[in-house]
Amino acid sequence: MSKGPTILKISGIVMIVQAVIGFALFVFSGLSVINMLNRMKHRTDEVVSRFSSFDSIFGFIMFGLILITSIVLLVCALKCLNTYNYYSVPGGNDKYLIPSKMVLVIGAITFLVCIAAIIIEGFNGMAILIMLCCSGWILALLNLIIVKKDRAEQAKEAPKKAWKY
């Protein structure tokens, strides 16, 4: 028996922690933007100039990526904690792999945007924290590899079991 179900359950728990960190970053970033807007509500020219700069546009992009990544991480984590044996059947439900593929793509995009933020803008602290919460794409890649390997193993064992009877 493979270690697939155990590894997927551990990666599911880690993804839940990463999703919680991502939601916390989203909430606290949103609260800081709301607080800044509240302090500047009578100075509209300053608000427009502050939000039209490259830094704030880049910040809003990262703000959206954090939310999307956290939601997809949570869905993928819940799928990882779900019954694994049903999905490891050869030719089984491919809908199981959709959240892992989405985390792989969206998490990798967020990860690359954070690296660009560190190199270009110098957002060291926040970008590293965002990279920590979006690194679930590595676990999603591990999930895809494990499920594919386990499906291949079970496909090889199925004909052997059929010939025994």
Does a structural domain hold residue 165? no
Does a structural domain hold residue 160? no
Instruction: Give yes or no for residue 114 having a pLDDT over 70.
Output: yes
Sign of the CA dihedral running 146, 101, 11, 9? negative
The pLDDT of 129-150, averaged and rounded, is 80
Domain that holds residue 83: 4-154
Does a structural domain hold residue 159? no
Report residue 141 as tokens: 């890649």
pLDDT in tens, 140-157: 888 788 877 777 777 777
pLDDT for residue 70: 87
End-to-end, the C-alpha distance of the chain in Å comes to 21
pLDDT for residue 158: 63
Does a structural domain hold residue 74? yes
37/149: higher pLDDT: 149
Q: Left (φ > 0), alpha (ψ -120 to 50) or beta: where does 122 sit? A: left
pLDDT in tens, 10-24: 888 888 888 898 888
